[in-house]
Amino acid sequence: MADQVASIDEARSDDPSGAGTRGESGWALVFRVLRALAGGVSLVLGLLWILLTTTQGHVHGTDLAVGLVLTIGGLVLLMPHRIRLPPVATAITVAVVGLGGTAAGLVVRTSQACCMFAYIVDRGWPFHWLERGAVADDPDTAYRLARGAHWDVNVISLAADLVLWAYAGMVLVVIAVLVRRARRDHG
């Protein structure tokens, strides 16, 4: 019986935030609740993304990658007791990969002429969050007007890009921690 109580207390002390369930400060509790909500929403959205994009008969690698990153990121957020991430290294990696990946995604450019001479240029990967375009009576005029148009930012797609790349950074930290743990256990 004493061993069971000790293992329960040990499980409670595995909380990476350093606070137990009793006597927890208000901010620590808020952080835990937000982490759990973000993890749950990410897990559900990631699985839904995979389900909706892979059942259409053809699977795009980008769609599968987006779904997997959201799903794995959600699991990491939901199970901090299973893998402890170094807080400083995780924060730095998440910030650098989140901002760097979003900025690097601007290299990806798509353009299209459609719909009775509309020319639209999108930037951003995997979600297009920066665009400009124009509509005219002929394709050359639409192209010329689009090149002179100002860029519009889609804030929702930008936020989704930032979150996805930040999750990718968190997954990289998880991989590094697991590799280090495996080397330590086998060495």
Integer CA distances (angstroms), 34 to 29, 37, 132, in order: 9, 5, 36
- Residue 174: the pLDDT is 93
Give the mean model confidence (pLDDT) for residues 96-122. 83
- Residue 16: the pLDDT is 47
**pLDDT higher than 80, residue 2:** no
Rounded Cα–Cα distance for residues 51 and 68 (Å)? 11
Q: Which is more confident, 117 or 88?
A: 88
Give the mean model confidence (pLDDT) for residues 25-41. 90
H-helix or E-strand containing 21? none
- Residue 141: the pLDDT is 86
- Residue 22: the pLDDT is 59
Give the mean model confidence (pLDDT) for residues 174-183. 92
Kindly report the average pLDDT of the chain as a whole number: 83
Q: Residue 21: which pLDDT band, with cuts at 50, 70 and 90? A: low
**pLDDT higher than 50, residue 14:** no
- Residue 115: the pLDDT is 63
H-helix or E-strand containing 133? strand 130-135
- Residue 9: the pLDDT is 41
Q: Looking at 7-11, 23-27, 56-60, which range is the least confident one?
A: 7-11
Question: Residue 108: which of 67, 54, 157 has the closest Cα?
Answer: 157
